[in-house]
């Protein structure tokens, strides 16, 4: 993001510059269907979308004394052939900026649009739209029918593209690519519309607001854990959502501070506390709001994990080995990474293992992770280090081994998987990200491993995965997870692949292992000899019908396993 001093400099340049426009620039704008006013506001004639100087400056462009459009960084003139792409993109954002906040917020509520999807909020705490809310309203306002349905997966897709469009236009200096993402988002948003569907009730507002008084009281009294959770719950309502994504039309609500969402690992306990403070269980809509407020919320809902949390299943007492690129130290893993071993002993810990570990703990927040670094910075290994790590994990008291890696079927790796399974350990492995491969890749291909494939946002088999040769358990492939880069910066960002799917299934397995250790899953697996066998049987018993993949089943933890026997 550009330093604030540059934005201030841009505003100063705009104010001081004489009202003059370079004739060549004016001719280019006219030929492209734009007019430029005496205050240098550029207006698209077909729809009156306006690009004022503040919007230009936010994207890194200003007018110089000669009336040329120049790049703020370097003060070099923008080549005239680039001007149409720049103004076409900014005009789309100008449309969004000019929308009426009250009308947009009311329409989103009446349409039943969720107030938050995958951690992206459409409304601020004061009820005004965020950038995401304005952008979605802009794309739906002229097309939406009264009976249209809301498809959360499509909305999530559109919100991701809105985010990418903003980044490319205002941070990366690629407005033409930003505009392309806006058009993709418009298609995603409108492809959900079904005129035959029944109208929906207005979407539920944040449940935190109605709990503000009891939450405030709980944050001052009671056990220390309750006070901490109440403070986290209260923080959800005080958040200033997406302050970095602002076109200047979303004022900062009074008393609202900028902050990160609470850690995902407290989510099951947050839900339990909210029920207690509410005096009765929250409605499904209220629970969905709280879950969706987390970076991985929508994926957790699709996976059905909250249904098991209600039964007290959080992975307590289960050890999960993560054989990967290593796990970095991070507050989100505080007290949850019990040990770490390195079978590479060179280079830095890459971000892949941390992203996978986050997916595991999002599903099973009380599981203990053990890190076994067997892949280098590039995510590569010849098989020997992986086999050594699997053997070490099998000897280290782990119940589950996650292998978010795929490639050739090394004999030593296959033998290590077999030894681990013979010891009663569940081995969960990603099927691979190569649709041109001849089938599921190793180690998922090995008889002792549970092969995991991916689901796209529409619930279909992910087109990018390896398939064939073995039945696969399918889980979401696109996950908003924790990314910690080599320079130490951290953010929640989307990662896609069967590696993420495998992490989600390992977390799910930890929940079911905890259940199996209680002896409560025998109804679905009477013939199972070990706990690992029972857990695997329970996983398959909680699947839905095939989704355009003959040898695949969709994991849904909310399903009753007895119904699938």
Q: What residues are annotated to the active site?
A: 324, 352, 499
| CA atoms of 404 and 49, how far apart (whole Å) | 47
Any alpha helices (H) in 52-201, and if so which ranges?
Answer: 53-58, 83-97, 101-110, 131-140, 152-170, 175-190
> Which sign, positive or negative, has the C-alpha torsion 418, 424, 425, 428?
positive
Nearest to 111 by CA among 93, 133, 131: 133
The angle subtended at Cα 371 by Cα 367 and Cα 377, nearest 5°, is: 135
443 upstream amide cis, omega within 30 of 0? yes
Nearest to 384 by CA among 345, 340, 424: 345
Q: Beta strand pairing status for 61-63 and 449-455? A: unpaired
Neighbours of 98 (CB within 10 A): 15
| CA atoms of 273 and 264, how far apart (whole Å) | 15
**Cβ-count burial 215-235 (b if 16+ within 10 Å, e if not):** beebbeeeeeebeebbebbbb
Q: Rounded to the nearest 10 degrees, what angle do helices 498-517 and 351-363 cross at?
A: 40
- Start-to-end CA distance of the chain, whole Å, equals 54
């Amino acid at each position: 993001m550009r330093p604030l001093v540059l934005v201030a400099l841009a505003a100063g340049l705009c104010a001081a510059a004489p009202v003059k426009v370079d004739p060549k620039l004016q001719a280019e704008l006219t030929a492209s269907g734009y007019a430029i006013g005496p205050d240098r506001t550029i207006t698209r004639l077909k729809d009156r979308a306006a690009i004022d100087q503040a919007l230009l400056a936010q994207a890194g462009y200003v007018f110089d004394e000669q009336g040329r459009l120049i790049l703020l960084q370097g003060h070099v003139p923008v080549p005239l052939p680039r001007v149409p792409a720049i103004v076409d993109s900014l005009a789309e954002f100008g449309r969004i900026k000019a929308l009426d906040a009250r009308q947009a917020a009311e329409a989103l509520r009446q349409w039943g649009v969720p107030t938050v999807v995958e951690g992206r909020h459409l409304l601020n705490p004061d009820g005004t739209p965020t950038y995401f809310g304005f952008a979605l309203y802009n794309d739906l306002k002229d097309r939406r029918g009264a009976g249209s349905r809301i498809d959360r997966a499509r909305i999530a897709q559109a919100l991701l593209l809105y985010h990418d469009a903003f980044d490319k236009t205002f941070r990366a200096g690629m407005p033409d690519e930003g505009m392309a993402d806006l058009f993709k988002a418009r298609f995603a948003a409108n492809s959900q519309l079904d005129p035959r569907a029944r109208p929906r009730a207005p979407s539920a507002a944040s449940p935190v607001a109605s709990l503000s008084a009891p939450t405030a009281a709980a944050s001052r009294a009671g056990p220390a854990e309750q006070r901490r959770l109440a403070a986290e719950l209260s923080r959800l309502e005080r958040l200033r959502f997406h302050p970095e994504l602002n076109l200047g039309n979303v004022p900062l609500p009074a008393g609202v501070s900028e902050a990160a969402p609470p850690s995902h690992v407290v989510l099951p306990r947050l839900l339990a506390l909210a029920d207690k403070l509410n005096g009765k269980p929250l409605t499904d809509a209220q629970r969905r709001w709280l879950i969706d407020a987390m970076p991985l919320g929508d994926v957790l809902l699709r996976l059905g994990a909250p249904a098991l949390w209600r039964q007290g299943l959080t992975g307590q007492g289960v050890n999960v080995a993560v054989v990967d690129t290593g796990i970095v130290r991070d507050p989100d893993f505080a007290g949850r990474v019990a040990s770490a071993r390195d079978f590479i002993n060179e280079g830095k810990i890459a971000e892949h293992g941390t992203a996978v570990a986050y997916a595991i703990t999002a599903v099973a927040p009380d599981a203990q992770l053990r890190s076994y670094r067997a892949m280098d910075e590039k995510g590569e290994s010849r098989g020997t280090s992986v086999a050594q790590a699997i053997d070490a994990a099998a000897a280290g008291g782990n119940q589950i081994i996650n292998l978010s890696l795929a490639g050739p079927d090394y004999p030593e790796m296959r033998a290590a998987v077999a030894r681990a399974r013979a010891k009663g350990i569940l081995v969960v492995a990603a099927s691979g990200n190569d649709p041109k491969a001849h089938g599921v890749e190793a180690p998922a291909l090995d008889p002792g491993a549970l092969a995991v494939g991916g689901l796209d946002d529409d619930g279909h088999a992910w087109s990018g995965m390896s398939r064939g040769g073995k039945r696969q358990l399918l889980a979401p492939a696109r996950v908003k997870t924790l990314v910690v880069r080599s320079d130490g910066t951290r953010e929640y960002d989307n990662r896609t692949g069967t590696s993420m799917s495998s992490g989600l299934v390992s977390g799910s397995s930890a929940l079911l292992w905890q259940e199996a250790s209680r002896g409560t899953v025998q109804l679905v697996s009477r013939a199972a000899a070990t706990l690992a066998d029972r857990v695997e049987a329970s996983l398959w018993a909680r699947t839905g019908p095939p989704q355009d993949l003959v040898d695949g089943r969709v994991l849904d933890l909310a399903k009753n396993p007895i119904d699938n026997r």
